[in-house]
Amino acid sequence: TCSLLRSPKGFPKLKNDTFLRAARGEETEHTPVWCMRQAGRYLPEFRETRASQDFFATCRSPKLCCELTLQPLRRFPLDAAIIFSDILVVPQALGMEVVMVPGRGPTFTEPLKAVEDLLKLRQKVDVTAELGYVFQAITLTRHSLEGKVPLIGFSGAPWTLMSYMIEGGGSSTMAKAKSWLYRHPEASHRLLRLLADVVIDYLVGQVAAGAQALQLFESHAGHLGPELFQAFALPYIQDIAQAVKSKLKEEALPLVPMIIFAKDAHYALRDLAHAGYEVIGLDWTIRPQEAREQIGKDVTLQGNLDPCALYAPKEKIGELVKKMLESFGTQRYIANLGHGLYPDMNPDHVGAFVEAVHAHSRHINKH
């Protein structure tokens, strides 16, 4: 249960560290598995918990975040939990207003239109003051997990956050945000730098609060080509890994494994392999063998079953998982979907996915 806020000290001893060992490249008896958006609308209990609450009000309630994070673990033998939150809490910390509009998703009431609008953003963000509710949720959840599995913290990456802040919500082309990269490169870098600095402090704060791994979501990488990615995304992705690690050292905090998930960025896998992350998350559009060739053997891979495969009959899910494990190999690998779960998915099929990963990887490891 998610009661009583306890201090970030004296956490329960971790009983299942398979996910952390795989992230660090150590040997595991089975391949660990978790799902992006595993705390989500495909669970009836999630919809019930969220029914009466505004989405971002839920994000600001440590107790509800804890409950939603734990729900999938009560159903499935997942090897990691990821804190329930949203990447758009970072633009909120910069002073922007974001509301969840039914049927439209997250919407900014006043997106950035002109370069002058950057002046409206908070230039110095005290992450504990602005995002302390996430830290409290992490501490509470870490205690409530009772050492069952590790807890992952996360943030959006600067380009992905910037694109939302300019587009004002989702977009199929990102044309407004990309036009900034071409028309206002200096202002774009100013904004990306501001975001990166907040993300660094935010991720370090999550580890201080109890997060045992961190994932950076560059969800909109696919809208950039190699040149724009190299100029406007990669430098900040690299800088975040480096700065987070050096701050964790300075503050004598645990050096937790870091995961980069840059969706649709096949063109950047070689660069991401040297960006300072222990794990690279892959979407479903890349062949595992090709990813391994480009990334090399010193980085753990995470992914990449097509989320829509979970609509298949359970036996078919088992076959697809077996094929995926054979392609990736069972070591230096964390099984996941190539993106998040969709709201209309059958929880039993999620269970079938998780169990298939455990069963087939154990079998492959034995033989």
**Global pTM value:** 0.98
The pLDDT value recorded for residue 345 is 98
Residue range 353-365, pLDDT digits in tens: 999 999 999 999 9
3-class DSSP state for residue 287?
coil
Count of domains forming the chain: 1
Q: Is residue 6, in this structure, part of any structural domain at all?
A: no
Q: Is residue 254, in this structure, part of any structural domain at all?
A: yes
In whole angstroms, give the CA distance from residue 115 to residue 277.
32
Q: Is residue 3, in this structure, part of any structural domain at all?
A: no
Strand ranges across the sheet with 279-281: 81-82, 151-156, 213-218, 258-262, 279-281, 300-305, 333-337
Spatial CB neighbours of 247, under 8 Å, sequence gap ≥ 6:
200, 201, 204, 253
Q: Is residue 84, in this structure, part of any structural domain at all?
A: yes
The pLDDT value recorded for residue 6 is 62
Q: Is residue 10, in this structure, part of any structural domain at all?
A: no
pLDDT of residue 7 exceeding 90, the answer is no
Q: Is residue 274, in this structure, part of any structural domain at all?
A: yes
pLDDT of residue 103 exceeding 90, the answer is no
Full residue range of the structural domain in which residue 112 is found: 24-366
* Average pLDDT estimate for 266-279: 98
In whole angstroms, give the CA distance from residue 207 to residue 253.
7
User: CA-CA distances (angstroms) from residue 15 to 51, 55, 253?
Assistant: 33, 32, 21
Which residues are marked as active site? 37, 41, 50, 86, 164
CATH of the domain at 29: 3.20.20.210
pLDDT of residue 1 exceeding 90, the answer is no
User: CA-CA distances (angstroms) from residue 96 to 89, 105, 305?
Assistant: 9, 16, 35
- The β-bridge relationship of strands 105-108 and 98-101 is antiparallel
Residue 210: which region, alpha, beta or left (left: phi > 0; alpha: psi -120 to 50)? left
> Which of 69, 33, 15 has the alpha carbon at shortest distance from 305?
33
Q: Is residue 305, in this structure, part of any structural domain at all?
A: yes
Q: Is residue 67, in this structure, part of any structural domain at all?
A: yes
Residue range 287-327, pLDDT digits in tens: 999 999 999 999 999 999 999 999 999 999 999 999 999 99
User: CA-CA distances (angstroms) from residue 216 to 39, 150, 314, 363?
Assistant: 17, 17, 31, 32
